[in-house]
Amino acid sequence: MVVPKLLLEITDLRKTVPGGRLLFDGLAMRLEAGELIAIMGESGVGKSTLLNLIAGLDVPDAGVVELDGVALAALDEDGLAALRRRRIGFVFQAFHILPHLTLAQNVGLPLALLRAAPAEVRARAIALLAAVGLAGRENDYPGQLSGGELQRVAIARALAHRPALILADEPTGNLDPETAARILALLIGQLREAGAGGLLVTHSDVAAACADRVLRLTATGLVEA
């Protein structure tokens, strides 16, 4: 029997936003390697904030976020940055694609930051660009792309370094249904292949239906949808 590997464990998480409004309290969640969980919930309920807390980009008022058994609170800024660089792939709403780098350089950036050989970085970037439907565009610059194309570049980049955890905030929001389905299949394929875990924040029932579990974020925490 294969014993599932616990990748992410959240215990008793509490977060208030500046101004004092409570977003959630007592929030708990477990994510196993190879598993994709969709997180849904009304606008403003705190889904993006939760992803930021999991990435160590924001700090909770109370509670514990553990990645691979390591509590984020035990790490200093350098430790958090190293953990993010090695273990996490991000697809965030503001795609953070760098305008002065080519698409191949953007997609390869997470690998380049880990000092992979330039030839390996470029080969992986070209393969991932092809996988998201941007074959032959590796030398283009982001300014030449549509919003949906940029979103696909962001997804390719999130996968470049084969992260253990992929955090995706509305990754298919700007895509037509056919492209969205293809991109989600790619994302899930990569999760399964690499034994990575994924958290997918989405308003789309179609996207959520691709996940292994769907959780709904409410003021009282995460509940099974």
Ligand X SMILES: Nc1ncnc2c1ncn2[C@@H]1O[C@H](COP(=O)(O)OP(=O)(O)OP(=O)(O)O)[C@@H](O)[C@H]1O
Supply the minimum distance, in Å, between the C-beta of residue 30 and ligand X: 21
Residues in the site for ligand X, rule: CB under 6 A?
17-19, 23, 41, 43-49
Relative to beta strand 88-91, strand 221-224 is: unpaired
Q: Whole-angstrom Cα distance, residue 93 to residue 53?
A: 15
Residue 115 CB: number of other CB atoms within 10 A? Answer: 7
Strand partners, 198: 36, 166
Supply the minimum distance, in Å, between the C-beta of residue 54 and ligand X: 12
Supply the minimum distance, in Å, between the C-beta of residue 198 and ligand X: 17
Closer CB to ligand X, 13 or 107, in the complex: 13
Supply the minimum distance, in Å, between the C-beta of residue 170 and ligand X: 7
Asked if 120 contacts 160 with a C-beta cutoff of 8 angstroms, the reply is no
Closer CB to ligand X, 81 or 219, in the complex: 219
Closer CB to ligand X, 60 or 108, in the complex: 60
Strand order in the sheet with 197-201: 88-91, 165-169, 197-201, 36-40, 213-218, 221-224
Closer CB to ligand X, 45 or 194, in the complex: 45
Closer CB to ligand X, 20 or 69, in the complex: 20
Supply the minimum distance, in Å, between the C-beta of residue 93 and ligand X: 7
Give residues with Cβ within 8 angstroms of 89, minimum separation 6: 110, 157, 158, 159, 160, 161, 163, 165, 166, 167, 196
